[in-house]
Amino acid sequence: MITIHPIPAFNDNYIWHLRQGDEHWVVDPGDANPVFDALGDNRLSGILLTHHHPDHTGGVEALMNAYQCPVYGPATIAQVTHPLVDGDHPTLIGCHWDVLAVPGHTLDHIALVLHAGEELHLFCGDTLFAAGCGRLFEGSPEQMFDSLSRLARLPADTRVYCAHEYTEANLKFARAAEPGNSAIASRLVSVKQVRAENRPTLPSTIGLECATNPFLRTQSPTIRALACERGAPADASPVEIFTVLRRWKDTF
């Protein structure tokens, strides 16, 4: 039985800690110290990385030195010992995984899908956030749109483990982008309560994201109309709607 817990890091990062029996793995350790604290006397068995940004990789060196553990992730990252590419299906922590290339936030970004029995768990780094998506630092809007669409096609009950606690701010944007969406309104109420208790709002699910995440909802007539008010052409493609939404969010 695998368990998955967030280790908070920096202001709003989550390092996901996976445990099965004596095996401990972490996803995107931007800082080693909270991982050392969470592990206590346990040894780290391995590290998984989604992309090269320092707030996801900054702790790798210290953890490798302490535990001599393998590092799986994009080949762009110097410390990676086991490069992963789209279509790989590694077996790690006694489970099958799928590797999906999801360029956009960065060009090297991958998403990792863990199969735990019938349950799917998605580690999507800074690509898909709860009610939002990552900024476009390296990729094009088309790449990000395709990457998000790929993730949205996963089964609705797939659990979604994002790398940041951005949910409340994202939902405020979602409410502005799609006023009248009652699922967004009720999610914002519950997320405010969870944050008031200083608890994580994650994991999410693909089904919840498809219902409340404006970046997965470019087909919504309301979102389309508001995007057109902000410069999207009347016959805009879903990618063009997405492009306007992403630009709007950058300054929201």
CB of 25 to Zn ion, least distance (A): 20
Catalytic (active site) residue 146: no
Instruction: Provide the binding-site residues for Zn ion, judged by CB under 5 A.
Output: 53, 126
Q: How far apart are CA 99 and CA 112, in angstroms?
A: 5
Nearer residue to Zn ion within complex by CB, 47 or 116: 47
- Of 17, 28, 31, 51, which is the active-site residue? 51
Q: How far apart are CA 55 and CA 59, in angstroms?
A: 8
Q: How far apart are CA 205 and CA 57, in angstroms?
A: 25
Catalytic (active site) residue 51: yes
Q: Both tokens of residue 244? A: 């306007």
Contacts of 14 (CB under 8 A, 6+ apart): 6, 7, 8, 161, 162, 163, 164, 165, 200, 202
Q: How far apart are CA 61 and CA 130, in angstroms?
A: 29
- Of 17, 24, 52, 105, which is the active-site residue? 105
Catalytic (active site) residue 121: no
Nearer residue to Zn ion within complex by CB, 10 or 233: 10
Q: How far apart are CA 34 and CA 31, in angstroms?
A: 7
CB of 56 to Zn ion, least distance (A): 6
CB of 17 to Zn ion, least distance (A): 19
Nearer residue to Zn ion within complex by CB, 67 or 129: 129
Helices and strands, counts by H and E, the chain: 9, 14
- Of 17, 24, 56, 121, which is the active-site residue? 56
- Of 28, 31, 55, 108, which is the active-site residue? 55
CB of 2 to Zn ion, least distance (A): 25
- Of 17, 52, 53, 109, which is the active-site residue? 53
Catalytic (active site) residue 24: no
Distances (CA, A) of 149 to 66, 98, 144, 236: 39, 16, 8, 17
Catalytic (active site) residue 164: yes
Nearer residue to Zn ion within complex by CB, 53 or 175: 53
CB of 53 to Zn ion, least distance (A): 4
Find, among 23, 13, 111, the residue nearest to 59 by Cα: 13
Catalytic (active site) residue 53: yes
Is 215:252 a contact under the CB 8 Å cutoff? Answer: no
Nearer residue to Zn ion within complex by CB, 102 or 208: 102
Residues designated as active site: 51, 53, 55-56, 105, 126, 164
